[in-house]
Amino acid sequence: MHNESYPIELTAPDIGPYQAGNTGIDYITCLDSGKAGPHVMLTAVVHGNELCGAIALHWLFRHDVRPLKGKLSLGFMNVAAYLSFDPANPTVSRFVDEDFNRL
């Protein structure tokens, strides 16, 4: 990746509190309403330098959002890349080993 320079005006939230989740898979949480309905999954940080998804999931957790029917799963995907995010060099943390878009 090349070193691009542009201002980063967002703060990457701490996603550490969500590591344990409740599914047996780190950083994946499933919220079950107990009522029949769809199962929706929202994922964030597929690329480590994409902060908006992490901000959105962090907001949902902090505001205790729960589904009225069905299940809602929230997942942080490419955590190693996200944890390496550096606002001074934002393109470097897009991925660790491989770009998911190129697989």
Helix (H) or strand (E) holding 43: strand 39-44
Tell me, what's the pLDDT at 101?
A: 64
Tell me, what's the pLDDT at 94?
A: 74
Instruction: Using alpha carbons, select from 82, 45, 75 the residue that is nearest to residue 61.
Output: 75
Predicted TM-score of the model (pTM): 0.85
Residue pLDDT tens, the chain, 103 long:
455 567 888 999 999 999 999 999 999 999 999 999 999 999 999 888 889 999 999 999 999 999 999 999 999 999 998 998 888 888 777 767 766 666 5
Tell me, what's the pLDDT at 58?
A: 98
Paired tokens of 66: 């729960």
Q: What is the β-pairing status of strands 28-32 and 71-76?
A: antiparallel
Interval 3-31: pLDDT, tens:
556 788 899 999 999 999 999 999 999 99
**C-alpha to C-alpha distance for 9 and 75, rounded to whole angstroms:** 24
